Amino acid sequence: MRLKMFVFSKLAEFIARIRHPRHGQSHRKKFIKYYYVGFLDQYTSILSDRVLRRKYRKIEYDGEFGPELKYVVPFAYWHHCNGTLKKTISSTGTKSFYYFSEDHEEKHAKRTWRRYVSGIPNSEDHNIKYNLSRWKRVPFKEYYANSRFVFGKPILVVANKYNTEWNRPPVNYLRIELLRRIFDTYSGRYQIIYNRPGCSNIVDDNSTILPFGDHKMIEAEFPDVIDMNKLYEEARPEGIVNYNHLQVLLYANSERFVSVHGGASVLASYFGGVNVIYSVKGYEHYFNEFEQFYPELSGATIHVARSDAEVLEAMRQCF
């Protein structure tokens, strides 16, 4: 296995250097080569996947939340539809994402940063293009549509975060004043669900959740806005398995999302409708991923905003 991956890596570096000379060496070695590693890697399973088609594929992943949703879950779903999925292994609280897996194990209590994971195409998160030959859109919205979380107004999900990014202070987050503007403007037309999970509700993935005044502000100023952490505490005795289970049930009933760079924006892109993504910094911009890849997740309309004003303008046009 190590020899195979070493050979694939060296060959992929050569191909990336020849085919993508305009990109810097750092981008070719850190990201672009893994597109070709994944492409070569998939050739080794053609017989099993395309001819024999027995249940053999065990897929294990303990990496970050965003890449898992973008590439690993659709890869597993493709194998499920192909009749070749045997088992999935992931982090605590992920069963709702792998609902189609007959044997899903929640093994990992902590997520870690990964480059390419052998056997899983595109598992290096960022790239110029993606191998979707063994990738299939997962119908979360259809599967989780429900009559339980229905309100008198359409749902607007506002998914935020406030944590360290790349071992530095927060960059991609919705500020308190922006949240006030959104709540003031749209709470009359929508039932706003505010989603910034507490650290006890999600699995740690190498970033530290920091103190933020949003929940206190909502409690004091916007009693009609539903804090998803509180809703989770109320719904747990009624059969909600974990926080991710609540997320997919609520999101399935919504067509409007405001989210932030990272896993929050990926999950919000899984449910169709419109997703306004606040993103100031990240490789997603360099590789044009928001436009190139995110719509693949569900056909959602994606609007990327790099300032408070752009968030509000996108919302004005779409909401």
- Domains along the sequence of the chain with CATH: 2-138 (no CATH), 143-318 (3.40.50.2000)
Question: In angstroms, what CA-CA distances link 266 with 145, 174, 209?
Answer: 18, 16, 19
List pLDDT tens digits, range 179-201.
999 999 999 999 999 999 988 88
CA dist 139 and 155 (Å) reads 19
CA dist 234 and 152 (Å) reads 19
SS (H, E, C) the chain: CHHHHHHHHHHHHHHHHHHCCCCCHHHHHHHHHHHHHHHHHHHCCHHHHHHHCCCCEEEECCCCHHHHHHHHHHHHHHHHHHCCEEEEEEECCCCCCCCCCCCEEEEECCCCCCCCCCCCCCCCCCCCCCCCCCCCCCCHHHHHCCCCCCCCCCEEEEECCCECECCECCCCCCCHHHHHHHHHHHCCCCEEEEECCCCCCCCCCCCCECCCCHHHHHHHHCCCCEEHHHHHHHHHHHCCCCHHHHHHHHHHCCCEEEEECCHHHHHHHHHCCEEEEECCCCHHHHCCHHHHCHHHHCCCEEEEECCHHHHHHHHHHHC
Does the pLDDT at position 92 exceed 90? yes
One-letter amino acid for residue 134 of the chain: R
List pLDDT tens digits, range 46-88.
999 999 999 999 999 999 999 999 999 999 999 999 999 999 9
Does the pLDDT at position 162 exceed 80? yes
Identify whether the C-beta of residue 260 lies closer than 8 Å to the C-beta of residue 131: no
CB atoms within 10 A of CB 13: 17
Give the pLDDT of residue 289. 96
**Residue 2's pLDDT band (boundaries 50, 70, 90)?**
confident
CA dist 10 and 306 (Å) reads 37
> What is the overall mean pLDDT for the chain?
95
Q: What is the mean pLDDT of residues 309-319?
A: 97
Give the pLDDT of residue 32. 94
Percent of the chain with pLDDT over 70: 100
List pLDDT tens digits, range 129-150.
898 999 999 999 999 999 999 9
Does the pLDDT at position 14 exceed 80? yes
Give the pLDDT of residue 282. 95
Question: In angstroms, what CA-CA distances link 157 with 10, 119, 178, 184, 248?
Answer: 44, 35, 15, 15, 12
Give the pLDDT of residue 1. 73
**Residue 271's pLDDT band (boundaries 50, 70, 90)?**
very high
CA dist 317 and 297 (Å) reads 22
